[in-house]
Structure 1
Amino acid sequence: MKPRKIPFVRPEMRVPKRLRHLEILRWSYTVPVLCYVAFFLMIWTLAVPLKPTLKAPKNVGVRRPVEDTFEVRIRNSNFNSDRKGGGSLDEKNEYLVNVNDEENSKKDKAEILADVFVKADVDKNGKLDSKELAQWIRMKIVEHISAAVSNNYGLFTLIDVNPRNGVISWKEYHAYFLKKRGFSDKYVQNHDERRHKGLQRSIKEQIMKDKASWMEAARSNPDSLTLDEFLAFTHPESSAANQLALVDELYDKFDRDGDELLTENEFAILQTDGNGDESTVVRQGEDERRAEFRRSVDLNGDGKADRRELLHYVAPQSPRHSEHEAEALLALADNNRDGMLSLDEILAHPDLFLKSKMVDTARSFHDEF
């Protein structure tokens, strides 16, 4: 029987049993840990994309430069955010003599009022009498009305694009409204008009005001505006339709015999309905009303006012509006009662003059309507 061969084992290859046991334990811990780490890395890589899948709209909240070349001010400055240069309006920039004049935007209240005072002071005596004040106000009114009428068609064609059919729908106007405030085309297309999600409260309130004004101006179709109706929406004081409506109101109030001619007596002596068929005659201010009829209503001096004369009377360009405003400003700010305004007296009432037609004609008109 041959003896069994025993394999030769080098001394350095011999591992004690205790060490072999520790080696097995080390791998039993390491392998699961490595597997867990690898699994975690895989999950993290899948959860975090290499590139963002959604990009925040770059245009939201950022003001774009004005697309058109003129300033639009709807219902107490609807498009106030469209000023050149963008940015929010601080107190000193709220009232501007000329909203397109960048130089004026850098002036404070006192500088604006002093600049207007110097321009209105025709005789350069350091005082504004009622005539100078009325002339300046009328010039600013005529400028405002002329700009509103001349720019109406340009703005109308700018908004009437989807489709271009000669009328502006609320959808077209609302899209323009949002784009002028810096919102992207994608946001405008997907905008939920009922909820107005993502809009600031001030913008939502302005949309509600615009909607109410829209319904007043839309006479032929509540869903769209014609060219003149759009002018009544943006500048109600400039609309011929609104002026005709004011004339009809005068006839309803004063034309007691229904002949569509107002006499001096009809205009000067007011009558209010009482109980039943009785009426009360009101003679308060009769002399003043007779003087106004002769001066501002009866242009040809025949003692009667027809529709043409009444249209001139209600038109904002009529001298009577600037004269009444000048009288009101004098009554409120003429502290020394000399019948004239000094620069110090104007600076003592800055808000009164900054909100008047003397300085901010557009704002004053839109606050009235």
Structure 2
Amino acid sequence: MKILSVLFAVTLCSWLVTCVPTQEKKDRIHHGKDLSDHKHDDSTDFQYDHEAFLGKEEAKTFDQLTPEESKERLGKMFDKIDSNNDTYVTAAELLVWIKFVHRRFVSEDVVKQMAMVDKNRDSFVSWEEYYNHTYSHLIDEEPFYDVVDKEKYRNMMKRDERRFKQADKDGDLIATRDEFTAFLHPEEFDYMKDIVITETIEDIDKNGDMLVDVNEYIADMYTPENDEPEPEWVKSERHQFAEHRDLNKDGKLDRSEIGHWIHPHEYDHKELEAKHLIYESDKDRDDKLTKKEILDNWNMFVGSQATNYGEDLTRRHDEF
């Protein structure tokens, strides 16, 4: 089973009528996949690849397309990805595309969130605006939540406030678009690394020693049911913990080791995905893809799980 190591994920608000606090999400910063919330297991499905190649939001609307429509749009996308027009797509060109898709997702998400929170329409988000939109109805109003619920949301609010203050570089409690982006997507910013590490420890550390042992590490991603045997992927994660996460071999992860885990230097998810798509589609093993090779493996790239790329195909190529 091809499963990427558990790393940080984009932390978002799920906006419905009101905003759900960021910590209400099951997939927290450290828990999930950089390019998709799905496991990267091609033996099960290609949903990870679809979201990595198309974007998380965009990957939803290809459900409405026929295979013929998907292939037609994929063929047009090939022409956009082939930036030097040599009729081949390389891993480098795929990497540029995947980075572009990811940046667009983050940018469009921030625009959407700001539009909902920025009540005075001054293109800034104050902590007061965020609190009023996200927490006031949970904490201040009666009688929607009991005491236990209120305490839970107060703790969430305090954590969000701490992250907001970390993102707010000038300390005025008013976030610019860049600062609000750092608040919503802290994994994208180096200066937010410490808060990401702190939140990761708080989420996983159950005994309060500010360290993460192997049982806490495993419990965060797997809960056995009815004395079932431990799956192979869990055994693999135990090995990852011992051999690659616990650098000083003391049986626990400290802040430095957690920082190395959630901000790995040895590889990048986007680069790995670009190489993966090339490897799985490159039939003649020349390390580049023709349009035919991509279309022959269309299901991995888009399948029936992608987006209305008609909008994308009308965007200027220089958006990259």
Which of the five TM-score ranges fits, normalised by the shorter chain? 0.3 to 0.5
TM-score (structure 1 length as normaliser): 0.34
TM-score (structure 2 length as normaliser): 0.38
Q: RCO greater where, 1 or 2, for CA within 8 Å and sep 6 or more?
A: 2
Larger Rg: 1
